A and B are shown apart, each in its own frame.
Chain A
Amino acid sequence: MAVKVGILGSGNIGTDLMYKILRSPSLELALVAGIDPQSEGLARARAMGIPTSTESIDAVLADRGIQIVFDATSAKAHLRHAPLLKEAGKIAIDLTPASVGDPVVPVVNLNAGLPPDNISLITCGAQATVPMVYALSRVAEVDYAEIVATVASKSAGPGTRANIDEFTQATAASLERVGGAKRGKALIILNPAEPPIMMTNTIYALMPEADEAAVVKSVQEMVAEVQRYVPGYKLKVPPLVEPSPTGEGKMVTIMIEVEGAGDYLPKYAGNLDIITSAAVRVAEKLVEERLVVS
């Protein structure tokens, strides 16, 4: 028996997540709830025999058996959903940049004690870059970390597009709070090229003292750890350690490409995989730690 879970939102992220949950032995997908009856995500769920609804949050709340709810709607919608889910005694795993609960990036703080009822997965950009910032900050002080997440236009749905400020702000905050940088900044670029480009992330860090060998080793180890749940996560260029343009200390540049598993959108959309894989990992951890199978 597995723990019953539901997905709110049937866009790119919700649909990709559906495939990943179906592969998890400890999770049972009891409902995919959206709002648009024409949505491709809902059609795919129905075709696989998964219960669906266009009643969104109401349908999720009505199903008392659902213990974990993945919210893949929008930041604005999650602000409304969060208190309702809490009141209903359901744990929310938030894939929007609403930043209601404490932020979690599995390779960094999964084992540090998960937040009680609302877990923020921040953004795909944060899931892809925070591990690298953390890999640096565990070696030496990071005064400033800046990340550039570039994603294919086709992989950024309407929710992401309407929440672009929330995306950059939540990502920047997580570079500090989870990544350990003193100051963080995030940029997002959408590229419409055909065929679509792979998700790429560039991480820049200013470090007063950085030992090149230690930096490279820590980064490579962290890449290997992320690969355990996102196999398509790889270094494009070996970490560059150069004098900082500020004239003091070093600047480290790391370039990461994230190739997706191709569950819903093709492999270019690694930005979906990095956050949906994190979501499943967190849910499985919750099941291990605190949920009694009903």
Chain B
Amino acid sequence: MATNHQNITLVDVSLRDGSHAVRHQFTSEQVGRVAAALASAKVPVFEVTHGDGLGGSSLQFGLSKEPELDWIQTAVRQAGGSRVSVLLLPGVGTRKELKRAHEIGASVVRVATHCTEADISPQHIAMAKELGMTVCGFLMMAHMVPPAELAKQARIMEEAGADVVYVVDSAGAMLPHEARDRVRALRDALSCEVGFHGHNNLGLGVANTLAAMEEGATWLDGSLCGLGAGAGNTQFEVLVAVLDRLGVETGVDLYAIMDAAEEVVKPLLPRPIVIDRDALVIGYAGVYSTFLLHARRAAEKFGVEPRDILIELGRRKTVGGQEDQIIQVAYELAHRSSVAQGR
């Protein structure tokens, strides 16, 4: 390929996005094993937090089995030459939690906002830079706005001090040309690095990540076995193999990362990470991937079809964090159909 893909930084999110898939029930022992496997495969950066970031343990998103600081501390102890990242959503977590995470050894942070709300992130980005952390701005649900608008939002994060700004396909809804257009718009507008975080709801996790890389994205996310929200993330070990075939240097040991996926993460999967009909509808309707398990639970509780809930959430243009809307929509659907039956 014509493009020079030097300095690609791969970020594993098995212990953060993967937290959604296990309903935030990781134990420190499991975190330690995954972290050690990632470190021995020489993954440069891996992320550890509740799926919704620091302070995410809640009734809205699901309570964590263990305190987040225990997970982070365990990961840091096993990290070896890898760096430990945390996620922070302003409005959910605060600078207070970020400071504590940094004190116990987190050296990278992704400050995440909905793709139109970057101006709630400058305080957090600035503080993280003062602490000496590497800071990624994380523009979630990036399929919802055109590339030019996304680039404007990315500028806000760059100006606040971000080292990298990500195009985040939280809904796994982007087609390759859409990922490409957004990364190109950021590349043209920014002087800092650009990243891409994909989900596999339409089966395009790896393909979109490659398209993003071809347009100049240098920070690429994935998770082992795809462990993550919805139909999971870009499958990390597959991405490593594909990049190796392309001759792109990532520094990750291919056999070791395959072993980490097969022997360490696969036994943790509560269910196979596949594109079933509910996950497919998430990608198709452009809904936050995390809504999958919440919608299934609400569907069961109120006796409605999960896909109806998800399509309605898409129609209402819900954003990440609106898990409470799932209950409301399920209630309304149940109420509507019982009214209909009554007649």
Report which A residues bind B (CB closer than 8 A): 144, 146, 148, 150, 153, 158, 161-162, 164-165, 167-169, 185, 187-194, 197, 200, 202, 204, 206, 236-237, 240, 245-246, 251, 253, 255
Q: Are A255 and B328 in contact (CB under 8 A)?
A: yes
Query: CB of B327 within 8 A of chain A?
Result: yes
- In the complex, 21 of the A-B residue pairs with CB atoms within 8 angstroms, ordered by the A residue number, are A146-B59, A148-B324, A161-B117, A161-B120, A162-B123, A165-B94, A168-B91, A168-B94, A169-B96, A185-B55, A185-B58, A188-B91, A189-B91, A190-B114, A191-B322, A192-B319, A204-B60, A206-B59, A237-B331, A253-B324, A255-B324
**Contacts A192-B319, A193-B317 given; does A165 touch B324 at CB 8 Å:** no
Residue ID in chain B nearest A193 by CB atoms: B317
Cα distance A165–B125 in the bound complex, in angstroms? 13
Q: Which of B77-132 contact A (CB under 8 A)?
A: 90-92, 94-96, 114, 116-117, 119-120, 122-124
Q: What is the distance, in angstroms, from A230's C-beta to the closest C-beta of chain B?
A: 20
Find B114's partner among A164, A192, A240, A245 (CB 8 Å cutoff): A192
Q: Are A150 and B120 in contact (CB under 8 A)?
A: no
**Contacts A193-B316, A193-B317 given; does A187 touch B119 at CB 8 Å:** no
Report which B residues bind A (CB closer than 8 A): 55, 58-60, 62-63, 90-92, 94-96, 114, 116-117, 119-120, 122-124, 316-319, 321-322, 324-325, 327-328, 331
Q: Are A236 and B328 in contact (CB under 8 A)?
A: yes
Cα distance A161–B328 in the bound complex, in angstroms? 26
Residue ID in chain B nearest A145 by CB atoms: B59
Residue ID in chain B nearest A255 by CB atoms: B328
Further pairs besides A165-B94, A189-B322, A202-B60: 9, Cβ < 8 Å: A148-B60, A162-B122, A164-B90, A187-B58, A187-B60, A190-B114, A192-B317, A240-B327, A253-B324
Q: What is the distance, in angstroms, from B294's C-beta to the closest C-beta of chain A?
A: 12
B-chain residues with CB within 8 Å of residue A245 when the two chains form the complex:
59, 62-63
Residue ID in chain B nearest A146 by CB atoms: B59
**Contacts A190-B117, A191-B322, A193-B317 given; does A255 touch B327 at CB 8 Å:** yes
A-chain residues with CB within 8 Å of residue B123 when the two chains form the complex:
162, 164-165
Q: What is the distance, in angstroms, from A282's C-beta to the closest C-beta of chain B?
A: 27
Q: Are A165 and B96 in contact (CB under 8 A)?
A: yes
Q: Are A146 and B58 in contact (CB under 8 A)?
A: yes
